Chains A and B, each alone.
Chain A
Amino acid sequence: MTDSALAPSAMAAPAAQRRDFGLKRRHASEARFRFYGITAIVIGLAFLIILFVSIISKGYTAFVQTSITVPVEFSEQIIDKNNERATDPLKLRAANYPLVARNAVAAFLGIDPTDKAAMKAAGDLVSDSSRVQLREIVQADPSIVGQTRTVTLLASGDIDSANKGQIDLSVAEANRKVSDKQLELLNQLKEKGAVSMPFNWGLLTFGASSRPESAGLGVALIGSLFMMLVVLIVSLPIGVAASIYLEEFARKNRFTDLIEVNINNLAAVPSIVFGLLGLAVFINFFGMPRSAPIVGGLVLSLMTLPTIIIATRAALRSVPPSIRTAALGVGASKTQMVFDHVLPLAVPGILTGTIIGLARALGETAPLLLIGMVAFVADMPQNPLQPATALPVQIFMWTNEAERAFVERTSGAIIVLLVFLAIMNITAIVLRRRFERRW
């Protein structure tokens, strides 16, 4: 035992036989760090859960819509009193369809037509959009005039809210949007089984409307789809070509360093700046149409390009150099090396980066406000040159609306947007898992 000579004091106490490696301190610091880490994750998850609970609890009701199913008499008296529809098609367009709807509800409930207040309340139960709905039925088949059909009409936004229990009935009648008479009629309709709550397809198919029950994300979805296509078509080839050149062909010198720094800077430029740029260049200089998805797509392409370039360069760099030397060693030219060997191995990384870039672009709002995509567009755009809105912009616009029914629709739209983003991100993860490290 030479220890005693080296450390006589340690030998004195038999418990100190073992050297002190500071294990206690090390274990304590590890435990502390684990605790910090878990705390951080718990806090992060808590915020995520609060976000989801808040949005979903507010928004899930937007996916059902109160509807009223009643027999509607397409009265010739109201629609076409003088029987001119054969000669004047405008007659069918301009007819007083709201009156048809009102009479249908009133007749169903047995309301005395001379009771003005009750008749008005009955008319207010049904959405104003029934005008369009009934008109389309008649225009599709003019022979229906004079007959009676059972039609499912949308309830008006306020009645929809009341039916979902979202209106505070303790407030004095004069201060709320739904009168006691309307509530009474609604209850009568319910008792007769005329009120239903089907899935709200309109939320996904309707265009803009000032009435919440007939407002939907249709135009915004089409607009966002067009923009994503433009972004994909424009920024993927440009981004990939630029990255391949910079990574594989360009000499490393000051100029390429400068380009590299600028690409990284570009990725950090606030998106609203890109919006201003798009306004100045695409709309004012090139004279492209306002509010059009093509302009939105181009602006978002500018924004997505740096993301794609950075992701593509990282993917190219992660291909092992041995693959490159192997290809060059058998006499492949540089182009053959890149396109036969390096690029195929980098594709999963490129796709992942592209999808993440697209997902960012899908959620972008600020630049679109500047190029006029914050517009009231009721008609479906047929191509990317026609006015449209975008999902996040539609959410932004709905938050400015006053009706209670728009509150739930805003949250509903956020859910739709989040679902799309989640699908894109999951696709990216699946791609990455699937093709990761084949060498």
Chain B
Amino acid sequence: MSLDIASSQASAPRNAPPKMTGDKVCVFYGAKQALFDVDLKVEQYSVTSLIGPSGCGKSTFLRSLNRMNDTIDGCRVTGKISLDTDDIYDPSIDVVELRARVGMVFQKPNPFPKSIYENVAYGPRIHGLARTKSDTDEIVHSSLRRAGLWNEVKDRLNEPGTGLSGGQQQRLCIARAIATRPEVLLMDEPCSALDPIATAVIEELIDELRENFTIVIVTHSMQQAARVSQKTAFFHLGKLIEEGKTEDIFTNPKNKQTQDYITGRIG
């Protein structure tokens, strides 16, 4: 199995403190436990990919990083997750503030049924990042440019975002997410609804965004994990089986289950 390992290493110094830390994280949906004692560190300015078979808890873990699990009735999280030094489940932390700091891109492109401009401008506006029209214009333009969408949409900013192609919609969602200037960007299988060309564009984009954002990505494609991430965590049946540098996980896994998965024997 030939894997295209991301050659560039994390630009953050090795001993920098982790951006996000999960400590004994357990997630329950009602009586059912979906995640068991996950300890995971997310390095700053790097891409961490979460891989594993369907239903292994990788999306659940991702969603607990910006408390999107709060919206699910009966969902309960124990353990500790911190962003820098703040415990994000602490009562003093407001989810609105947390989600402004930890943005998210979803599996299915989900632009608002509004104009392209409004899609991007909404976040900065509600978070008070843009007070004037020119501020908003500036943020919208730079976000679209960083998401690599500017040249394709600059003449039709007032057309509905839902009229774009799937790959463009997903890049619009990325532009929307980075417009609020988050510190961490969560991506839940961002390419699973896209064709290979659109996927390649997004992967390239993820590599560029790494300079300014800490990225956590859930993916089903091991090739994608290998291409875009510096660190990989393998989940199976709700447990974190193995984590480490992407090249180590794919070339020299320590755990038998990890090896079985990446060589295609399970999952």
Q: Which residues of A contact B (CB under 8 A)?
A: 251-252, 320, 322-333, 336, 340-341, 345, 438-439
List 24 A-B pairs, Cβ < 8 Å: A251-B73, A322-B106, A322-B108, A322-B110, A325-B71, A325-B106, A328-B68, A328-B71, A329-B66, A329-B68, A329-B104, A329-B105, A330-B122, A330-B126, A330-B177, A330-B180, A331-B99, A331-B100, A331-B103, A331-B127, A331-B180, A336-B126, A341-B112, A438-B113
Contacting pair A329 B106 (CB below 8 A): yes
Q: Which residues of B contact A (CB under 8 A)?
A: 66, 68, 71, 73, 96-100, 103-106, 108, 110-113, 122-123, 126-127, 160, 162, 173, 176-177, 179-180
Given contacts A251-B73, A325-B71, A331 and B113 within 8 Å (CB-CB): no
Contacts of B97 in A (CB 8 A): 331
Tell me the complex Cα distance, A107–B113, Å. 76
Contacting pair B113 A326 (CB below 8 A): no
Having A324-B71, A329-B99, one finds 17 other A-B pairs with CB under 8 Å, namely A251-B73, A320-B110, A322-B108, A325-B106, A326-B106, A326-B173, A329-B105, A329-B106, A330-B99, A331-B99, A332-B122, A333-B96, A340-B126, A345-B113, A438-B113, A438-B160, A438-B162
Given contacts A331-B96, A331-B99, A331-B100, A326 and B123 within 8 Å (CB-CB): no
Closest residue to A330 on the B side, CB-wise? B123
Tell me the complex Cα distance, A88–B71, Å. 80
**B126, B127, B179: which has the most chain A beta carbons within 10 Å?**
B126
Tell me the complex Cα distance, A330–B111, Å. 11
Closest residue to B111 on the A side, CB-wise? A326
Tell me the complex Cα distance, A209–B91, Å. 71
| Chain A residues touching B, majority SS | helix
Contacts of A322 in B (CB 8 A): 106, 108, 110
Contacting pair B110 A325 (CB below 8 A): yes
Nearest-Cβ distance from residue A221 to partner chain B, whole angstroms: 40
Nearest-Cβ distance from residue A335 to partner chain B, whole angstroms: 10
The one of A252, A327, A328, A438 that contacts B73, using a Cβ cutoff of 8 Å:
A252
Closest residue to B162 on the A side, CB-wise? A439
Contacting pair B112 A331 (CB below 8 A): no
Closest residue to B66 on the A side, CB-wise? A329
The one of B66, B112, B160 that contacts A327, using a Cβ cutoff of 8 Å:
B112
The one of B123, B160, B162, B173 that contacts A331, using a Cβ cutoff of 8 Å:
B123
Tell me the complex Cα distance, A438–B113, Å. 7
Contacts of A332 in B (CB 8 A): 96, 122, 126
Contacts of A326 in B (CB 8 A): 106, 110-112, 173, 176
Contacts of B71 in A (CB 8 A): 324-325, 328
Tell me the complex Cα distance, A78–B190, Å. 95
Contacts of A330 in B (CB 8 A): 99-100, 103, 122-123, 126, 176-177, 179-180
Contacts of A439 in B (CB 8 A): 113, 162
The one of B73, B103, B113 that contacts A329, using a Cβ cutoff of 8 Å:
B103
Nearest-Cβ distance from residue B145 to partner chain A, whole angstroms: 19
Contacts of B98 in A (CB 8 A): 331
Contacts of B104 in A (CB 8 A): 329
Tell me the complex Cα distance, A252–B74, Å. 10
Nearest-Cβ distance from residue B118 to partner chain A, whole angstroms: 10
Nearest-Cβ distance from residue A324 to partner chain B, whole angstroms: 8
Nearest-Cβ distance from residue A249 to partner chain B, whole angstroms: 12
Nearest-Cβ distance from residue A347 to partner chain B, whole angstroms: 12
Tell me the complex Cα distance, A329–B97, Å. 11
Nearest-Cβ distance from residue B38 to partner chain A, whole angstroms: 22
Contacts of B112 in A (CB 8 A): 323, 326-327, 341
Tell me the complex Cα distance, A438–B111, Å. 12
The one of B68, B122, B123 that contacts A325, using a Cβ cutoff of 8 Å:
B68
Nearest-Cβ distance from residue A100 to partner chain B, whole angstroms: 70
Closest residue to A329 on the B side, CB-wise? B104
Contacting pair B99 A323 (CB below 8 A): no
Closest residue to B94 on the A side, CB-wise? A333
Tell me the complex Cα distance, A326–B97, Å. 16
Tell me the complex Cα distance, A333–B128, Å. 13
Given contacts A323-B113, A341-B112, A439-B162, A329 and B126 within 8 Å (CB-CB): no
Tell me the complex Cα distance, A132–B208, Å. 88
Tell me the complex Cα distance, A327–B66, Å. 13
Contacts of B177 in A (CB 8 A): 329-330
Contacts of B173 in A (CB 8 A): 326
